[in-house]
């Protein structure tokens, strides 16, 4: 028996069981008279197997109740079962919707705007490409390599929503076969783009990475996801998504090289997900690629962190001053309130 708010689906087996009790028939004897196994009769009574027209005819012979009665009982049960399950799934999905960032998603144009709970469920099912939203809880976050600051249940769901949008956007990006050797060779050229304007480097970067089998997608930040970027496999391509809202240039480039680090270090598509060691390794990859540690240590050993000195070092490294400032702040050489005027803010179209 399956219940929902509006429906009770009772299998025909319940009526069969009543008939057996009234007649004092055991299931063993009934199975013998039906010419069927005890196991099948048990499943029939419990509603675990369908009552077929053939079985209905046998029931008419054994119990004297017309076959059309059993067929109608089975049809009614199946109809109510579908409706009860659908109602239960809808109720469950409505609760899950409350934990998803629907308002932000609709504001970004990812789903239609609505206040009606049932419509939200339908729109989100289509968005995630699932028959019910409970399924997304089984979609493994573990295969998504990402850089974010914290992890919560709502944050995980926000990440899934964000990653789904990245997947949908990436479908429109044509890529070559995945080529990690070429990607590694392209790192110096990608690094040189740090000194360029976004309008110039964005199309070039997208084209370059697509040639390595990587679809680069820029998306707005989703509140609660604590997300900077994420990387995962989708079919025969790798998807790299980066957040762009209020993005400092140094954070943008660090996030990009962090995600490229995950790719080159073999961290994506792991069944158990990225470990803390993987995240640290990707961080170190990004730091080393942007500013080699040997040269950074040589600069910091001079203990001159004036704006003039920082700009001079950045120019020699051919990178933005803000990247140097971000590294100095992160490693405690200067306070976070110093030299922020040397940082560049990006406004990237999405």
Contact 259, 145 (CB under 8 A): yes
Higher pLDDT, 273 or 148: 273
> Quick one: pLDDT at residue 67?
97
Contact 233, 269 (CB under 8 A): yes
> Quick one: pLDDT at residue 314?
95
Does the pLDDT value for residue 290 go beyond 70?
yes
Distance, CA of 329 to CA of 343 (rounded, Å): 12
Contact 346, 244 (CB under 8 A): yes
A 10 A CB-CB count for 255 gives 22
Distance, CA of 264 to CA of 344 (rounded, Å): 28
Residue 220: pLDDT band by 50, 70, 90 thresholds?
A: confident
Does the pLDDT value for residue 128 go beyond 60?
yes
Residue 198: pLDDT band by 50, 70, 90 thresholds?
A: confident
Please give the CATH architecture assigned to the domain spanning 2-91.
Orthogonal Bundle (1.10)
> Quick one: pLDDT at residue 61?
97
* CA 155 to each of CA 68, 144, 227, 292, 331: distance values in angstroms, whole numbers, following the listed order: 54, 14, 9, 33, 27
> Quick one: pLDDT at residue 80?
95
- Assigned token pair, 59: 């029931």
What is residue 100's DSSP assignment?
S
Distance, CA of 292 to CA of 22 (rounded, Å): 86
- Assigned token pair, 201: 């480097």
Alpha-carbon Rg for the chain in angstroms: 30
Contact 16, 98 (CB under 8 A): no
Of the chain, the end-to-end C-alpha distance in Å amounts to 50
> Quick one: pLDDT at residue 180?
96
CB-count burial class (<10 Å; 0-12, 13-18, 19+) for 330: middle
What is residue 141's DSSP assignment?
G
Contact 160, 139 (CB under 8 A): yes
pLDDT digits over 36-69, tens only?
A: 999 999 999 999 999 999 999 999 999 999 999 9
Average pLDDT of the segment spanning 175-196: 95
Averaged pLDDT score across all residues of the chain = 91
> Quick one: pLDDT at residue 142?
47
> Quick one: pLDDT at residue 149?
56
Residue 136: pLDDT band by 50, 70, 90 thresholds?
A: confident
Pairing status of strand 2-3 against strand 237-243: unpaired
DSSP H helices in the chain: 12-23, 27-34, 38-46, 53-63, 67-97, 102-107, 117-128, 153-170, 180-192, 198-210, 249-264, 276-290, 293-300, 307-317, 321-330
> Quick one: pLDDT at residue 256?
94
Residue 154: pLDDT band by 50, 70, 90 thresholds?
A: confident
> Quick one: pLDDT at residue 222?
82
Whose CA is closest to 288, among 212, 193, 191? 191
Distance, CA of 350 to CA of 340 (rounded, Å): 26
The structure's pTM equals 0.79
Residue 243: pLDDT band by 50, 70, 90 thresholds?
A: confident
> Quick one: pLDDT at residue 124?
97
Residues 6 or more apart from 157 whose CB is under 8 A from it? 96, 99, 100, 101, 136
> Quick one: pLDDT at residue 323?
95
Which residue is associated with the tokens 């990707």? 282
pLDDT digits over 83-111, tens only?
A: 999 999 999 999 999 999 999 999 999 99
Residues 6 or more apart from 302 whose CB is under 8 A from it? 309
Instruction: Report domain extents, the chain.
Output: 2-91, 102-138, 141-346
Does the pLDDT value for residue 133 go beyond 70?
yes
> Quick one: pLDDT at residue 139?
60
Contact 62, 56 (CB under 8 A): no
> Quick one: pLDDT at residue 105?
95
């Amino acid at each position: 028996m399956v219940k929902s708010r509006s429906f009770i689906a009772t299998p025909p087996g319940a009526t069969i069981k009543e008939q057996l009790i009234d007649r004092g028939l055991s299931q063993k004897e009934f199975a013998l008279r039906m010419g069927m196994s005890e196991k099948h009769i048990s499943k029939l009574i419990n509603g675990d197997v369908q009552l077929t027209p053939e079985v209905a005819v046998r029931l008419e012979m054994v119990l004297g109740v017309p076959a059309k009665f059993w067929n109608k009982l089975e049809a009614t049960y199946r109809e109510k079962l579908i409706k009860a399950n659908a109602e239960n799934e809808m109720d469950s999905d409505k609760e899950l919707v409350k934990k998803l960032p629907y308002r932000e998603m609709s504001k970004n144009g990812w789903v239609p705007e609505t206040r009606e709970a049932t419509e939200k469920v339908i729109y989100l099912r289509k968005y995630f490409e699932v028959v019910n939203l409970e399924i997304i809880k089984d979609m493994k976050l573990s295969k998504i390599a990402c850089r974010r600051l914290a992890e919560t249940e709502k944050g995980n769901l926000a990440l899934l929503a964000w990653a789904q949008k990245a997947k949908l956007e990436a479908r429109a990006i044509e890529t070559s076969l995945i080529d990690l050797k070429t990607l590694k060779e392209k790192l110096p050229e990608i690094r040189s783009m740090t000194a360029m304007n976004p309008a110039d480097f964005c199309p070039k970067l997208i084209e370059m990475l697509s040639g390595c089998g990587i679809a680069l997608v820029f998306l707005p930040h989703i509140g609660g996801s604590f997300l900077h970027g994420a990387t995962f496999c989708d079919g025969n391509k790798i998807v790299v998504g980066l957040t762009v809202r209020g993005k400092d240039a140094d954070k943008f480039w660090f996030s990009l090289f962090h995600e490229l680090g995950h790719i080159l270090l073999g961290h994506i598509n792991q069944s158990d997900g990225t470990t803390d060691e993987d995240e640290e390794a990707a961080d170190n990859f990004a730091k080393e690629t942007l500013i080699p540690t040997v040269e950074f240590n040589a600069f910091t050993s001079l203990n001159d962190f004036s704006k003039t000195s920082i700009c001079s070092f950045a120019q020699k490294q051919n990178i933005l001053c803000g990247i140097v400032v971000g590294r100095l702040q992160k490693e405690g050489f200067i306070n976070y309130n110093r030299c922020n005027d040397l940082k560049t803010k990006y406004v990237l179209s999405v």
